[in-house]
C-alpha cells in the first residue's frame, strides 16, 4: 500500500499544467494538491501489480482516475454550493463559478490525455472502460440531485444511485490497472465487480458511521446526515419499515430545523425499527459479493490476500 501511495503522491506533485491561462490551470493544480486519500489511483496501481505487470506501467491511468475524481469534485461542489473541500475553499469559492466550470472541463480532458499516452490498443481499451464509468458517474450525480427534491426514493433506487455515483469508479480504477497487465476478460470482470460491490459496502458503512460512529474518532459531526435531512440508507429504510404512526414521527423529524435533539430522536426511532442492524446486514451483503468476486479471480493467493487487506482497511475492520 505504502509504495503505491508514495508513488502516486509523487506523480501527482510532478504534474505540470501549462502556465497560461492562469485562471484555467491554477485551480486544477490547487485542487489536486489539497490531498485526499488517493484511494482510486492506488487501486489502479495495485491491480496492475496483482496481474503481474510493473505497477508503474499504470501511473498515467492512475493519474487519469485521480484527475477525473477531482473534476467531479470541482463540478459537484458548484452544484452543492459547498464552501469547503478538505478544509480549504472550494474552487468556485476561491475563484468563481465560471472558473470552476471551465477548469473542471479542462481537467476531464486532461484525464483523457493521460489515457491516450498508451499504445493504440491499450488506450482504446482503457478509454472504452472509462467512457462507460464516467457517464455513469454523471448519471449518479444527477440521480442524487433528483432525489434531494423527491419525496419517494426506494431502497433499490438509492442503491443504484450510490453504485453509479461512487462505486463504479472504484471498479473502473481496478479494471484499468488489470487491462494494463493484460488480464483476461473474465479477470477484468471479477476485479471490476470486486471494486463496485466493495464501493457500495463502503458507502453503506459511511451512512451507518455518520450516525453511529464514536464522536472521538470521527472526523466530522456525528449525525450530520440527520441534521441536514440527507437521504441515506438509514432514513429510507426507516420510512420503508415504519408503521403509520412511526412514519408520522419520521415526517415530523424531517420538518425540524437543525437541532441536536433531532439526532437523539432519530436514534430512538431507528432503534425501534432495527435500522442499524438492517443497514449492517445490507452492507455485509455487498461486502460478501465483493469477496466472492475476489475469490473467483485467477491470481495468486498472495495477491488476493493484499486485496482482502485493502478491503478490510477501507472498511476499517480487522481482517
104 vs 223, beta carbon nearer a second copy: 104
Nearest distance from C-beta of residue 208 to a second copy, angstroms: 26
Residue whose CB is less far from a second copy, 117 or 221: 117
In whole angstroms, the minimum distance from the beta carbon of 230 to a second copy comes to 17
C-beta separation of 291 from 201 below 8 A: no
Q: Grid coordinates standing for 80?
A: 452543492
C-alpha to C-alpha distance for 140 and 79, rounded to whole angstroms: 13
The CA distance from 215 to 35, in Å, is 24
The phi and psi torsions of 54 (rounded to 5 degrees) equal -60, 125
* CB 164, CB 143: distance < 8 Å: yes
Q: Which three cell numbers stand for residue 228?
A: 441536514
β-strand partners of 85: 88
CA distance 236 to 234: 6
Shortest distance (Å) from residue 79 CB to a second copy: 4
Minimum separation from the CB atom of position 217 to a second copy (A):
34
CB of 26 to a second copy, least distance (A): 11
State how far the Cα of 283 lies from the Cα of 200, in Å rounded to an integer: 8
CB of 252 to a second copy, least distance (A): 29
The C-alpha atoms of residue 319 and residue 310 are separated, in whole angstroms, by: 9
Map grid coordinates 473502473 to a residue: 172
Binding residues for a second copy (CB under 8 A): 21, 23-24, 75, 78-79, 97-99, 101-102, 104-106, 108-110, 112-113, 116, 119-121, 123-125, 127-128, 131, 134-135, 138-139, 141-143, 145-146
Q: How far is the CB of 110 from a second copy (least distance, A)?
A: 8
C-beta atoms surrounding 192 within 10 Å: 23
38 vs 1: CA distance, rounded Å: 11
Three-class SS state of 84: strand
Residue 102 or 315 with smaller CB distance to a second copy:
102
- Rank residues 161 and 234 by Cβ distance to a second copy and give the closer one: 161
Q: How far apart are the first and last CA of the chain?
A: 15
Complex with a second copy: residue 124 or 317, whichever CB lies closer? 124
Which is closer to a second copy, CB of 123 or CB of 265?
A: 123
Bond prior to 21 in cis (omega within 30° of 0) = yes
**Residue 35 near residue 89 (C-beta atoms within 8 A):** no
Q: Which is nearer to a second copy, 13 or 98 (CB)?
A: 98
**Residue whose CB is less far from a second copy, 24 or 93:** 24
Question: In whole angstroms, how close is the CB of 179 to a second copy at the nearest point?
Answer: 12
Amino acid at each position: 500500500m505504502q509504495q503505491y501511495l508514495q508513488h502516486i503522491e509523487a506523480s501527482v506533485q510532478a504534474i505540470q499544467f501549462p502556465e497560461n491561462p492562469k485562471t484555467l490551470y491554477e485551480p486544477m493544480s490547487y485542487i489536486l494538491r489539497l490531498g485526499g486519500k488517493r484511494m482510486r489511483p492506488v487501486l489502479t496501481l495495485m491491480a496492475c501489480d496483482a496481474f503481474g505487470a510493473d505497477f508503474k506501467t499504470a501511473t498515467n491511468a492512475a493519474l487519469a482516475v485521480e484527475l477525473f475524481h477531482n473534476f467531479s469534485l470541482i463540478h459537484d461542489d458548484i452544484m452543492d454550493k459547498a464552501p469547503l473541500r478538505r478544509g480549504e475553499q472550494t474552487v468556485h469559492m476561491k475563484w468563481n463559478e465560471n472558473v470552476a466550470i471551465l477548469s473542471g472541463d479542462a481537467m476531464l480532458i486532461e484525464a483523457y490525455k493521460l489515457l491516450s499516452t498508451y499504445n493504440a490498443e491499450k488506450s482504446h481499451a482503457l478509454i472504452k472502460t472509462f467512457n462507460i464509468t464516467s457517464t455513469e458517474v454523471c448519471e449518479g450525480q444527477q440521480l442524487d440531485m433528483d432525489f434531494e427534491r423527491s419525496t419517494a426514493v426506494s431502497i433499490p433506487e438509492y442503491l443504484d444511485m450510490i453504485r453509479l455515483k461512487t462505486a463504479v469508479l472504484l471498479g473502473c480504477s481496478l479494471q484499468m490497472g488489470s487491462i494494463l497487465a493484460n488480464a483476461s476478460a473474465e479477470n477484468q470482470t471479477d476485479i471490476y465487480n470486486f471494486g463496485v460491490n466493495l464501493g457500495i459496502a463502503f458507502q453503506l458503512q459511511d451512512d451507518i458511521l455518520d450516525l453511529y460512529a464514536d464522536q472521538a474518532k470521527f472526523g466530522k459531526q456525528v449525525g450530520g446526515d440527520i441534521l441536514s435531512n440527507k437521504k441515506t440508507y438509514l432514513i429510507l429504510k426507516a420510512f420503508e419499515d415504519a408503521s403509520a404512526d412511526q412514519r408520522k414521527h419520521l415526517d415530523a423529524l424531517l420538518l425540524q430545523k437543525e437541532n441536536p435533539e433531532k439526532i437523539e430522536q432519530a436514534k430512538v426511532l431507528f432503534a425501534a425499527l432495527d435500522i442499524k442492524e438492517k443497514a449492517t446486514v445490507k452492507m455485509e451483503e455487498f461486502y460478501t459479493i465483493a469477496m466472492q468476486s475476489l475469490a473467483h479471480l485467477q491470481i495468486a493467493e498472495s495477491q488476493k490476500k493484499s486485496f482482502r487487506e485493502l478491503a478490510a482497511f477501507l472498511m476499517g475492520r480487522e481482517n
